Amino acid sequence: MMRSNKVQDFSFHHLIRGTILIGFMLLLFKLLLTNNISLLIAPKMIRFIYFTLFICLILGVLLILRGTSGKNHSYHCDCDGDHTYPSSFGKSMFLYLLFIIPITTGFLFSNNVLGSSVAMNRTIKLGSSSQVPSQTNTLKNSAKGASSSNTTQTASATNTQSVLDNQPEPLTQKEYEELKNQLLKANNINIDDNQYVNIMNIIQDNLSAMIGKTVTTKGFVYREKEFMQNQIIVARFGITCCVADASVYGMMAKGDVAALSKDKWVQITGKIEQTQFNGETIPVIKISQLSKITAPKQPYVFDVGVRIE
């Protein structure tokens, strides 16, 4: 049989595969240590990374032992010989470089943060997501009733979360409604990172009730092609599982912003107004206060979602 003729060759494959797995394990370990992992995937996925790290270590060590032991005959797998090893040196080089190159670039460039150049290629949701007009109306009506009460209260606690902390648990429907009512009552809304996506959705969906409220938000400066000199979007990338599913969230802001270059991080405060953009009615913040800030350690916000009971 072919297998026994090429014992030598197989031990090479086992050794190099084991080494690649160890390399991958080191990459994961480094990403966890430097916390760059949070620039790639959402915190709720990190437990899977621990699992992977552990498995890669075991398999890597096992494969290296298998490659060095020289007893290659001892193993015949049950899988009817469907694992084939590349037959020529060139093919194996291609196969293994396929793994080695990404691991190398992973070590070197994992601290990259997505910015305007990626946001430009994505669609950005500035207005309400509701597509059914009747539903929007009912929402608006109920919102109007609520907005009459005038308690001053910041929307949510601004506990600055450490980056390594786990993703906040998804809200239940009830908590989401509570958050919504809280926002409708409040005069000052601070768009907190923890609930960023939820708060943005609530503001966009209940726009008419939100007009006149003061909001504070931070994000990077992003401009659509059609924007005037005094308009920017204060944008964030929202991530569900990994950076590949990042979508751009943000709020349009207007004021004296022509000098701000794109991708600069800013914190703005201002009153919500509404405006028309691309045929949609969207909220816009009239900037009363603007400060440049350093990019936060966790530039992305995480879409925690709502749990269905």
Site string for other proteins, 197-216 (x = CB under 8 A): ----x---x-----------
Per CB under 8 A, 238 contacts other proteins: yes
Closest approach of other proteins to the CB of residue 214, in Å: 25
The one segment of 107-115, 186-194, 211-219, 291-299 that binds other proteins by CB under 8 A = 107-115
Which of residues 123 and 294 has its CB atom nearest to other proteins in the complex? 123
- What is the crossing angle of helices 7-34 and 46-69, to 10°? 150
| Binding test (CB under 8 A) with other proteins, winner from 165, 169, 178, 245 | 245
Determine phi and psi for 243, rounding to 5 degrees: -60, -25
Residues numbered 87-106 forming contacts with other proteins, rule: CB under 8 A = 95, 98-100, 102-106
Q: In Å, what is the CA distance from 47 to each residue of 41, 218, 256?
A: 11, 29, 44
Cα–Cα nearest to 114, from 290, 284, 257, 301:
301
User: Residue 20, interface with other proteins (CB under 8 A)?
Assistant: yes
CB under 8 Å to 251, separation ≥6 — which residues? 126, 200, 203, 215, 217, 233, 234, 283, 284, 285
C-alpha–C-alpha distance, residues 52 and 54, integer Å:
5
Which residue from 168, 296, 299, 305 is in contact with other proteins, where contact means CB under 8 A? 305
Among 12, 227, 265, 277, indicate the residue that binds other proteins (CB under 8 A).
12
Minimum Å gap between C-beta 23 and other proteins is 4
Q: Within 10 Å of residue 90's Cβ, how many Cβ atoms?
A: 9
Q: How far apart, in Å, are the Cα atoms of 293 and each of 4, 137, 299?
A: 64, 38, 12
Range 150-189, binding other proteins (CB under 8 A): 170
Residue 142 or 267: the one with the smaller Cβ distance to other proteins is 142
